[in-house]
């Protein structure tokens, strides 16, 4: 079946690419034996097809970049390496961060910054850090409790929206947040409206406190806005996902706690206001799950050592 899809992809069949992508999302290792053929066929997109690339495939990509024969493909090739997360990919990205390969002058970011597309980074201490967890759960929308004392957004006066109310005492939550080091309750309140325009930060504690960070900066293009009610829904953890890659920013039922984000645009892991490092990713809430006509997706982030949470938003 996969052979058949690969041969269809070779002649430009978009449906076949879609099917391969679904396999890469549910069980990426099934594609490992076929990735060499995809590379031979110059099928470099989506790079997520290459999540389970093995050492020989990674070496081929690294050699191709070092050979410098296809500098116009550098962006795609670096994305493949980032999504593979392979140690050989990591050492190559580190090397190119100081010795840029052919074509790097056309890139918007340095080679090592590509790691964020694959959900990892190299910290100031030189150690690799995974920004995403390996366990993921469906996030099912429930009626949000209405509180009379709900704080409101200092910019648009909309009542704040509870984008997450989690407790690591729940084993699913504990597993989904394991990579963050968080222990206890985690409530994230944000402005559903203003978060669509800029990353909004809040300060959070393991007792479930959440306050608007006074350092949030209102973008100059965000004019006066009418207060509006936040979504009437808030997510609750459901059954485990088969893999960490099944969040969907588009489909109904795509909201996911934990695992890896489904970015609509380029990866946008929020930087922590406390330490400047990228925050840990904790989940995605799809607009399609909040409203019949909803679009885009909210992405939630946490940096436990600094006590900061963040919400940002992307749309097509």
Q: Which residues bind Zn ion (CB under 5 A)?
A: 153, 155-156, 158, 191, 193-194, 272, 274-275, 303, 306
CB 147 to Zn ion: min, Å: 17
Residue 49 main-chain phi, psi, to 5 deg: -60, -25
CA dist., res. 290 & res. 181, Å (int):
29
Contact 116, 267 (CB under 8 A): yes
Closest residue by Cα to residue 154 from 120, 190, 123 = 190
The nearer residue to Zn ion, 50 or 155, going by C-beta atoms, is 155
The nearer residue to Zn ion, 18 or 228, going by C-beta atoms, is 228
CB 272 to Zn ion: min, Å: 3
The nearer residue to Zn ion, 173 or 310, going by C-beta atoms, is 310
Cβ neighbours of 194 (radius 10 Å): 22
Cβ neighbours of 1 (radius 10 Å): 8
CB 177 to Zn ion: min, Å: 16
CB 220 to Zn ion: min, Å: 15
Tokens for 252, please give them: 């109904």
CB 307 to Zn ion: min, Å: 8
CB 127 to Zn ion: min, Å: 15
The nearer residue to Zn ion, 25 or 189, going by C-beta atoms, is 189
Contact 268, 255 (CB under 8 A): no
Closest residue by Cα to residue 259 from 238, 239, 244, 237 = 244
CB 158 to Zn ion: min, Å: 5
Calculate the alpha carbon distances from 280 to 20, 58, 213 in Å: 28, 26, 18
The nearer residue to Zn ion, 230 or 235, going by C-beta atoms, is 230
Contact 146, 231 (CB under 8 A): no
Calculate the alpha carbon distances from 154 to 160, 215, 218, 276 in Å: 10, 12, 10, 24
The nearer residue to Zn ion, 226 or 239, going by C-beta atoms, is 226
Contact 137, 207 (CB under 8 A): no
Tokens for 82, please give them: 């980032």
Cβ neighbours of 283 (radius 10 Å): 28
């Amino acid at each position: 079946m996969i052979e058949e899809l690969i041969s269809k992809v070779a002649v430009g069949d978009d449906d076949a690419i879609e099917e391969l992508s679904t396999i890469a999302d549910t069980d990426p290792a099934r594609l490992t034996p076929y990735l060499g053929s995809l590379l031979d066929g110059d099928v470099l997109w989506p790079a997520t097809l290459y999540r389970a690339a093995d050492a020989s495939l990674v070496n081929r990509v690294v050699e191709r970049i070092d050979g410098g024969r296809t500098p116009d493909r550098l962006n795609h090739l670096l994305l493949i390496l980032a999504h593979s997360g392979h140690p050989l990919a990591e050492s190559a990205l580190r090397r190119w961060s100081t010795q840029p390969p052919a074509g790097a002058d056309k890139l918007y970011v340095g080679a090592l910054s590509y790691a964020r597309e694959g959900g990892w980074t190299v910290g100031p201490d030189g150690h690799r850090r995974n920004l995403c967890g390996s366990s993921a759960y469906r996030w099912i929308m429930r009626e949000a409790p209405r509180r009379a004392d709900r704080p409101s957004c200092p910019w648009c006066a909309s009542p704040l929206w509870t984008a997450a109310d989690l407790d690591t005492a729940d084993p699913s939550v504990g597993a989904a947040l394991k990579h963050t080091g968080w222990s206890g309750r985690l409530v994230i309140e944000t402005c559903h409206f203003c978060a669509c325009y800029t990353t909004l930060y809040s300060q959070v504690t393991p007792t479930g406190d959440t306050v608007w960070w006074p350092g949030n900066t209102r973008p100059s293009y965000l004019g006066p806005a009418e207060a509006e009610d936040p979504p009437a829904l808030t997510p609750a953890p459901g059954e485990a996902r088969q893999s960490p890659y099944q969040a969907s920013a588009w489909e109904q039922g795509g909201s996911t706690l934990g695992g890896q984000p489904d970015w609509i645009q380029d990866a946008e892991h929020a930087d922590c206001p406390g330490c400047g490092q990228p925050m840990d990713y904790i989940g995605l809430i799809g607009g399609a799950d909040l409203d019949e006509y909803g679009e885009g997706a909210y992405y939630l982030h946490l940096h436990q050592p600094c006590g900061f949470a963040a919400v940002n938003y992307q749309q097509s």
